Amino acid sequence: MNILLCSVNTLKTFFEISSVEVGQHLYWQLGGFQVHAQVLITSWVVIAILLVSAILVVRNPQTIPTFGQNFFEYVLEFIRDVSKTQIGEEYGPWVPFVGTMFLFIFVSNWSGALLPWKIIQLPHGELAAPTNDINTTVALALLTSVAYFYAGLSKKGLAYFGKYIQPTPILLPINILEDFTKPLSLSFRLFGNILADELVVVVLVSLVPLVVPIPVMFLGLFTSGIQALIFATLAAAYIGESMEGHH
Amino acid sequence: MANMIMASSRTLIRASTVSPPPPPSQKLPILNHITLPRLQLPLLNNLSLQIPIPHPNQTLKSLSVLAATSLALAPPSLAVEIEKAALFDFNLTLPIIMVEFLLLMVALDKVYFSPLGKFMDERDAAIREKLSSVKDTSSEVKQLEEQAVAVMKAARAEISAALNQMKKETQAEVEEKIAEGRKKVEAELQEALASLEKQKEETIKSLDSQITALSQEIVKKVLPTV
């Protein structure tokens, strides 16, 4: 009896110190529906960062670029290179999509890791990267699905559906399954990485707040950047795959 | 702590109505954090209403067993009380994020991708053009140089041809003049020679007569008695 109470008490003190909040959302009501307000707020901040910095830097392009313009040119060249490698020669119209995907996810992840969101106290839940919410990642993955369908259909018309029986009709169920696993894997990969990284950092900070979390934070920055790249590259790869010609 | 439980459970057994949760100090340890179930009194109420109050020692044992089982059985019936960790909570956020992303894509395209992309492409094309034009002018320069050399050669050839011609002409003239002069000189020479011959003959003739005279005189002088 005593042992039970003692263990319960220690657990209680631990949790009072750590206060790890998982899956707590700030709910707003829009019409008859609920939204996760913390995701919307942080996504607005990310959008603001992207648009304001782009407008400020790209205002007067010089032939010999300034530091900011050079950086943005580098980013654009990088995105173009990714699109070109994956999609091929007709990559031009898809650069905005792939680029926005990459930039949105990258800035979301890094803002979640770097910006001091905890300063703003929400009545319920807390602010963090918008990509730590399943809604965001599934939204992006579904958009990617729509994009590669649109790419295939606009290029080949209804002959696009012939790809389901390539190379042999026996693979038809697998090809159909792919259309479900592609967005599923995209969304869960991103969601799991970002949420898990946040959790690890928070738990480590609650246990040993001084030096130990720092390598994990750097790891988090690195992997979240890689995840943005992976998401964008895979999106481009799926688009390229739907658009590619006859084997 | 055991007494605490005993005391709290005694009050439970006496109270028959479900009352709002009493202050924390009287309850079983409550975990303030929302992810763990809050143990509320009503549960113990449900389980322990029917039990009569036996001897304290027996009460302690049975109540401890009750407490343990209630802790173990807490989750299902406390589903209302636990705040669910809503990880897979799909709601209107999903389409809103989709719309936000599409708007962001259009905005970024208008502000960043298109203008900067066009600028970079134009700059590339301009640089390439300049490079190729530089290559062209160097070949042009070579052509011009060759032309100049050819022109110079032609000019030189002209000059030497003209020079040669002039030389030839003047030489012919000069030779003519020389021949003329020579002729004159020869003619004069002949004349002079001829006149000298004449003079010689005349002198010889005069000498001859003088020689005769002289010889007669000599004879006279040598042979006076004759």
Q: What is the ipTM of this complex?
A: 0.89
What is the C-alpha separation between A234 and B157, in angstroms, rounded? 76
In A, minimum Cα distance to B66 occurs at A1
Asked if the Cβ–Cβ distance from A99 to B84 is below 8 Å, we say no
Residue-level pLDDT at A209: 81
Residue from the list B91, B98, B106 with its beta carbon closest to the beta carbon of A34 = B91
Q: Render the burial of B133-143: b for 16+ CB within 10 Å, e for the rest.
A: eeeeeeeeeee
Check residue B82 and give its pLDDT: 52
> What residues of A are in contact with residue B28 (Cβ under 8 Å)?
5, 8
Chain position carrying tokens 């690890």? A200
DSSP A36: E
Q: How many CB pairs under 8 A join A and B?
A: 153
Neighbouring-strand partners of residue A30: A33
pLDDT tens-digit profile, chain B (226 residues) = 444 444 444 444 444 444 444 444 444 443 344 444 444 444 444 444 444 555 556 666 666 666 556 555 544 444 444 566 678 889 999 999 999 999 999 999 999 999 999 999 999 999 999 999 888 888 888 999 999 999 999 999 999 999 999 999 999 999 999 999 999 999 999 999 999 999 999 998 988 888 899 999 999 998 876 5
- Output the pTM of the full model: 0.64
Contacts with B70 from chain A: Cβ below 8 Å: none
Which residues, other chains included, contact A244 with Cβ-Cβ below 8 Å and sequence gap of 6+? A88
Contact B108, A51 (CB under 8 A): yes
Tell me B19's DSSP state.
-
Buried b (16+ CB within 10 A) or exposed e, B12-40: bbeeeeeeeeeeeeebbbbbebbbbbbbb
Residue of A36, A43, A76 with shortest CB distance to B91: A36
Which of A44, A58, A94 has the highest number of chain B CBs within 10 A, making it the mutation to test binding with B? A58
Of residues B68, B86, B119, nearest to A4 (C-beta): B68
CA closest to B30 among chain A residues: A12
Q: What is the CA radius of gyration of chain A?
A: 22
Which among A51, A55, A56, A102 is positioned nearest to A76, based on CA atoms?
Answer: A102
Q: What are residue B52's phi and psi, to 5 degrees?
A: -70, 165
Interatomic CA distance for residues A79 and A122, integer angstroms: 36
The partner residue sitting opposite B93, judged by closest CB among A40, A50, A55, is A40
Q: What is the pLDDT along chain A (247 residues), one digit of tens a residue?
A: 677 777 676 666 555 544 556 778 889 998 889 999 999 999 999 999 999 999 998 888 888 889 999 999 999 999 999 999 999 999 999 999 999 999 999 999 999 999 999 898 888 888 999 999 999 999 999 999 999 999 999 998 888 888 888 888 899 999 999 999 999 999 999 999 999 999 999 899 889 888 888 999 999 999 999 999 999 999 999 999 999 865 4
Cβ atoms within 10 Å of A29's Cβ, excluding its own? 10
Closest chain A CA to residue B113:
A96
HEC assignment per residue over A91-127:
HHHHHHHHHHHHHHHHHHHHHHHHCCHHHCCCCCCCC
Which residues of A are less than 8 Å from B37 in CB distance? none
Q: Which two tokens stand for residue A193?
A: 């990485």
Name the residue of chain A whose CA is nearest to B28's CA.
A5
8 A C-beta contact, residue A227 and residue A215: no
Decide: helix, strand or coil at residue B15.
Answer: coil
Q: Test B101 with A140 for CB contact under 8 angstroms.
A: yes
pLDDT for residue B42: 44
**What is the 3-class SS of B93-156, one letter each residue?**
HHHHHHHHHHHHHHHHHHHHHHHHHHHHHHHHHHHHHHHHHHHHHHHHHHHHHHHHHHHHHHHH
Interchain contact, A54 vs B123, CB within 8 Å: no
Query: Scanning the structure block, which residue is given the tokens 């950092």?
Result: A201
Q: Cα(B43)–Cα(B82) distance, rounded to whole angstroms?
A: 14
Q: Which residue of B has its CA nearest to A141?
A: B98
Which residues 133-172 of chain B have a CB within 8 Å of chain A?
Answer: none
**What is residue A26's DSSP assignment?**
-
Cβ of B33 within 8 Å of Cβ of A63? The answer is no
